[in-house]
Structure 1
Amino acid sequence: MTEGTYRNPVLNADWSDPDVVRVGDDFYLTASSFGRAPGLPLLHSRDLVSWTLVGHALERLEPAGEFTSPRHDCGVWAPSLRHHDDRFWIFWGDPDQGIFQVNAPAIRGPWTRPHLVKGGKGLIDPCPLWDDETGEAYLVHGWAKSRSGVKNRLTGHRMHPDATSLLDEGKLIVDGDRIPGWFTLEGPKLYRHDGWFWILAPAGGVETGWQGALRARDFFGPYEEKIVLEQKDTDVNGPHQGGWVRTPSGEDWFLHFQQRGPYGRVVHLQPMRWDTDGWPVIGDDGAPVAVHTRPDLPHQPPAAPATDDDFPGGRFGRQWQWTANPQDGWATQHSGDGLRLSCVRSVDAHDLRKLPNVLTQRLPGTPSVVEVDLRLHSEEPGARAGLAVLGDAFGWIGLQRGADATVHVVHRFAESVAERERDAAHPRLAPDGRVRLRIEIGAGARCRFSYDVGDGPCPSGPVFAATPWRWVGALLGLFALAPVGSGHAGAAAFTRFRITDL
């Protein structure tokens, strides 16, 4: 790869269902966050290739009572990011509640609390449009069959310009069942261009589908359609769902995701142009590009969302999310460095998938080594803490306090169908209650666990194959737990979290 080119994916981790907007010389991107908190990640770039995470638009999921425990495939689905009237706007669908929006005067906030624009089951993938030509505002959304019994359809509304409410009952504007060969039409992004209303929307499913474009002279249709990006003879399966953005010099680009199993939905950048009939052409004549000339934008130093963390003052970085709405006291700030997690008492202590107090970040999409230092301070028999690979199946390695007050390195896992974890290796004494934990993530997200209690690295257990959740890639997690009981259970301290190339 030469200096003037870039390589896909530009975001090689689970930044699902991306949408993008340009404001001046800055580009901003958001993505689905499902049931994790904080939600609605906010990324920034100046060149569309190097992205950094600058914050989140949603501090907690609402209503809060619905997200006190993990709901890994619920919550925030497929957001749309727009800039209108000197404000940033994000719309998303919660498949169990309806369509919400938040807005802010600047990308770093302050963001408003979620406002329900349209309530109902199965309302997903909303996108607004403020039409500068007519002064009208519109909203389009898709449907989740699992909640509504309906899919493969797009519904359109007129919307109040302040985005607080809809002005009509809605109309079916695209019926995918009437388009030969199209199914699971979803993820619409709404634009105005060259006198047309445009909907860029994928169909065919995330694993094997394609990106479509639909256009009409009137928002309510009729729409004509065309496939504008598909796998063809590339290795990019199901190029799917994203957003169009134009640079200051007039170049057009399209950011979309590719489903990669345990790695989740990684993000690709495609060139885009318009053919003589006025249709968009994405990628290399409709096929995804692997390497391409960089956008005509000022060169930026290489950058990526942060992964490493020294936890200064006990605080954790923006890359971390809880598996449900957090409670006070799960993590405590202090004067030194290191993350101090309270050993939260739980009846589900033997199944990490059910715990809200797991602090997670995305699994890297390239072969990597994950390391962290751990000290178990809790004197509570049965207290444990560790480093996990969390998905439909999970594995973890860490420390546990025994009934005789000794501390052991333990390594446990659970298959996707198992209700409880079991040992993956025999426990090993950790005399000082300290350990350096390590997971090597190789090709195919195959994970090798090891530890070091001061006498050199020791491999532990068999290879563990990371698995995704439904819709969500596997996660890395830090946790501290204790058996159900009374009183304070103590804490565990994590330091020097690092992810390096393998």
Structure 2
Amino acid sequence: MTTVSNPLLPGCYPDPSVCRVGDDYYLVTSTFEYLPGLPVLHSRDLVHWETVGHAVDRADMLDFAGIRSSGGLYAPTIRHDGERFWIVCTLVDPTDATRGGNFLITAADPAGPWSDPIWLDVDGIDPSVAFGEDGRIWMHGTRLAREPQWHHQTEIWVREYSGTEQALVGAEHVIWRGAVNGAVWAEAPHLYRIDGRWYLIAAEGGTEFHHAVSVARADDVTGPYEGNRANPVFSHRHLGRGVRVIGAGHADIVEAQDGSWYAVMLAMRAEDGSHYPLGRETFLCPVAWEEGWPVFAPGYGVLPESIEVPWAGDDVAAGTWQPDDRRSGSVASDDLRWTSLRELPEEIAVAQSDGTWQLAVRAESLADAGTVAFLGVRQQHADVDVTGVLDMSALAEGETTGLVVRQSERDHAALQVTRNADGLLVRAVHRRGDQENLEAARDLPMAESVRLTVRARGYAYELVCGEECLATINGRELDAASTGGFLGLWFGVFATSHGRQPRGSVRIHDFGYEPTSML
């Protein structure tokens, strides 16, 4: 037996989708405005996961210009048709509306390369795909109800897809509007053909505290669908805010090699019942079948802290970085955890032979919804030290670099280091909405490099220059529960010329991620 600890994937890995091909599992999650987009993770046991590539990893695949924070790539689904992998996803809020919406990409190898997008002529979000036993392909997704009976009512549609025509064909069928009268945001649909029936698993309640999972079934893919009388069949909302894990929902199920079943879904670790700086994370849940219906977490009805899966292996905290693990410590430039904003990392920085990055200064600042000079990684632990040793010898006078804890362009906390004629100015700032608050400032003598650290301890984020803590930021003011949006926090390095013509660059000499606990 192997014991896996939840969350399966800590940090901002929301909206998970999973499929199995033989003995191999593949999982994808949302990435919003960050690139490369849609990480493809591989596992042989549902416990140990490795990122093998990203489905959106070419500059010409999608246009991210002007994508707002918490826009971008929403809720992918991954499936296999017997020959190729399929991912269907939504690009939300591009500047050019003709290059947004629902799309399909395919690949023979999940590590890539993935095809250019095939755009689907349908509105809404959360697309999914199912393959019938007769070879027919069924796309489905969610959108705001055409004739809503209440605010935020949505509807789930299904329509046939022609691989030959690369288009939706035939009639559209609305099959679900939620299980509960008055339900909002019925979304994240997945259809499955199991034992001669079609099953629909969908979320409702919104991807926050009231999130839930519902299930329905039908003899025909187009319905009518019979809802489970126990709907919603899974949620944490009835537990109140005195629990550590909230917002469970957006489930996708998979059958294991031995015939057992599991679900992946998102949830949030909120130590105070409300705030979750690490964002929406991926959790694993056992599933049983009783009287023709899936039962989530049978016998206890909540996401377990740990699960035993019937395969040999070592007990691990799955997906986490351990002190003796290669994923703790310095993050080299070839590490697949690096992401950037609206452009690929290699478009804004040059990877050096020694594993460092040379980050070119850009005119845009962290407060701009543009192509900012930013390289970062997800926060995956509540208690962690993140350190950047920045070589500023190529930074021009008046330009600024630093280390940031980022939620969005409107909400972040940063250590800013500006090179002046006679030295360095270090500022600790906290942006909340339209207001940037100066927490502390220090003048330092001219130096080629500076060591900056963010010490995260639960909800406290200490901004440290050298050995001096300049400010402590309340993480509750940075998380999505306070700021809006769908993201967890990122740590990263930035460089800006404050709107002027950029001239310099900064070498990220070392970027360290050191968890101080396994929370």
TM-score (norm 1): 0.88
2: distance between equivalents of 1:269 and 1:198? Answer: 20
Q: Which region of structure 1 is more displaced relative to structure 2, 93-102 or 43-52? A: 93-102
Q: Is the 8 A contact 2:10 2:320 kept in 1?
A: no
The code of the aligned residue for 1:195 comes to G
2: distance between equivalents of 1:53 and 1:252? Answer: 23
2: distance between equivalents of 1:5 and 1:328? Answer: 38
Q: Where does 1:91-110 land on structure 2 (aligned, <5 Å)? A: 91-96=88-93, 97-110=100-113
Q: Which residue of 2 aligns with 1:182?
A: 183
Q: Which residue of 2 aligns with 1:36?
A: 34
Q: Which residue of 2 aligns with 1:409?
A: 426
Q: Is the 8 A contact 1:409 1:430 kept in 2?
A: no
Task: Choose from 257, 263, 276 the match for 1:254.
Answer: 263
Q: Is the 8 A contact 1:151 1:184 kept in 2?
A: yes
Q: Is the 8 A contact 1:37 1:60 kept in 2?
A: no
Task: Choose from 360, 363, 371 the match for 2:379.
Answer: 363
Q: Which residue of 1 aligns with 2:216?
A: 214
1: distance between equivalents of 2:140 and 2:221? Answer: 10
Q: Is the 8 A contact 1:387 1:397 kept in 2?
A: yes
3-state SS of the aligned residue for 2:283?
strand
Q: Is the 8 A contact 1:258 1:268 kept in 2?
A: yes
2: distance between equivalents of 1:282 and 1:41? Answer: 26
1: distance between equivalents of 2:130 and 2:346? Answer: 39
Q: Which residue of 1 aligns with 2:96?
A: none
From the superposition, tell whether residues 241 and 162 of structure 1 become closer, same or farther in structure 2 (CA, over 3 Å). farther
2: distance between equivalents of 1:343 and 1:124? Answer: 35
Q: Is the 8 A contact 1:283 1:289 kept in 2?
A: yes
Q: Which residue of 2 aligns with 1:481?
A: 496
Task: Choose from 73, 77, 82 the match for 2:79.
Answer: 82
Q: Is the 8 A contact 1:228 1:286 kept in 2?
A: no
Task: Choose from 398, 415, 425 the match for 2:440.
Answer: 425
Q: Which region of structure 1 is more displaced relative to structure 2, 244-253 or 292-301? A: 292-301
3-state SS of the aligned residue for 1:166?
strand
Q: Is the 8 A contact 2:65 2:370 kept in 1?
A: no
Q: Which residue of 1 aligns with 2:292?
A: 278
Shift in Å, 1:25: 1.4
3-state SS of the aligned residue for 2:113?
coil
Shift in Å, 1:267: 1.3
Shift in Å, 1:235: 4.0
The code of the aligned residue for 1:183 comes to V
Q: Where does 1:241-390 land on structure 2 (aligned, <5 Å)? A: 241-260=250-269, 261-275=276-290, 277-285=291-299, 287-299=301-313, 302=316, 304=319, 310=330, 315-326=333-344, 330-346=348-364, 349=365, 351=367, 354-390=370-406
Shift in Å, 1:386: 1.1
Kindly tell me the number of residue pairs found equivalent between the two proteins.
480
Q: Indicate yes or no: 2:144 matched with 1:136.
A: no
The code of the aligned residue for 1:320 comes to W
3-state SS of the aligned residue for 2:487?
coil
Shift in Å, 1:210: 1.2
Q: Is the 8 A contact 1:448 1:464 kept in 2?
A: no
Q: Percent identity?
A: 25
Gaps of 5+ in 1: none
Shift in Å, 1:329: 5.6
Q: Is the 8 A contact 1:311 1:495 kept in 2?
A: no
Q: Which residue of 1 aligns with 2:15?
A: 17
1: distance between equivalents of 2:59 and 2:152? Answer: 25
1: distance between equivalents of 2:171 and 2:73? Answer: 23
3-state SS of the aligned residue for 2:503?
coil
The code of the aligned residue for 1:143 comes to R
3-state SS of the aligned residue for 2:121?
strand
Q: Is the 8 A contact 2:212 2:247 kept in 1?
A: yes
Q: Which residue of 2 aligns with 1:493?
A: 507
1: distance between equivalents of 2:7 and 2:314? Answer: 17
Shift in Å, 1:309: 7.0
3-state SS of the aligned residue for 1:263?
coil
3-state SS of the aligned residue for 1:440?
strand
Shift in Å, 1:251: 0.9
Q: Indicate yes or no: 2:248 matched with 1:236.
A: no
1: distance between equivalents of 2:39 and 2:347? Answer: 23
1: distance between equivalents of 2:510 and 2:152? Answer: 48
Shift in Å, 1:288: 1.8
1: distance between equivalents of 2:246 and 2:80? Answer: 31
Q: Is the 8 A contact 2:381 2:515 kept in 1?
A: no
3-state SS of the aligned residue for 2:215?
strand
Task: Choose from 24, 33, 53 the match for 1:55.
Answer: 53
The code of the aligned residue for 2:214 comes to G
